[in-house]
Amino acid sequence: MRWFWIDRYDEFVRCKRAVAVKAVSLAEEHLHDHFPGAAVMPNSLVIEGFAQAAGLLVIDAIDFARQVVLAKVAKADFRFDAAPGDVLRYEVEILQLGESVSIVKAASTVGERLHGEAELVFGHLVEGEMVPKLMSKAELMGWLDSLRVFEVGVEPDGSPIIYDRLPHVT
């Protein structure tokens, strides 16, 4: 089973930045297990939301050439707990995009309030004997489709991203 910690993208600027949204719901099982009697979304899952929002931005930026994995949380700071009913807005920005590593700045807000900030380091791994295939390009494209990237995605110059160069998602 895969867990998704973002619900959709509201902005996606190829190779630069993205904005994703996560609605925190009382129906989510982990909220009841983390602190019994005080339902909050664990900050570790907020970091995973950052990583998913940023990781998809990074893998698109490198044209799906390598597997992208969260290698390090360089720093993270949270100001309050996200609770059921909150809508987390994840803003991620690529600070450095290299051949084997990327650095991304991430921030979350609830309404106008800054909730958290982090700096994430992603490794770009070549699939092979020591590196398993984590998700196929078709699986990634399906995920991007369900998160509305095809609707909101733009090139750095503001023109719509043309995804016909990638495998067709059925």
Asked whether the beta carbons of 95 and 120 are under 8 A apart, the reply is no
130 DSSP 8-state letter:
S
Q: Say how far apart CA 165 and CA 1 lie, in whole Å.
A: 29
Q: What is the dihedral of CA 144, 45, 22, 148, to 10 degrees?
A: 0
Asked whether the beta carbons of 9 and 152 are under 8 A apart, the reply is yes
Token duo for residue 149? 């990237």
167 DSSP 8-state letter:
P
Which of the following is catalytic: 30, 32, 34, 168? Answer: 34
Neighbours of 167 (CB within 10 A): 13
Annotated active-site residue 124? The verdict is no
- Give the type of residue at 134: L
**Of 93, 100, 91, 98, the residue nearest 49 (C-alpha):** 91
Asked whether the beta carbons of 43 and 120 are under 8 A apart, the reply is no
Catalytic residues: 34
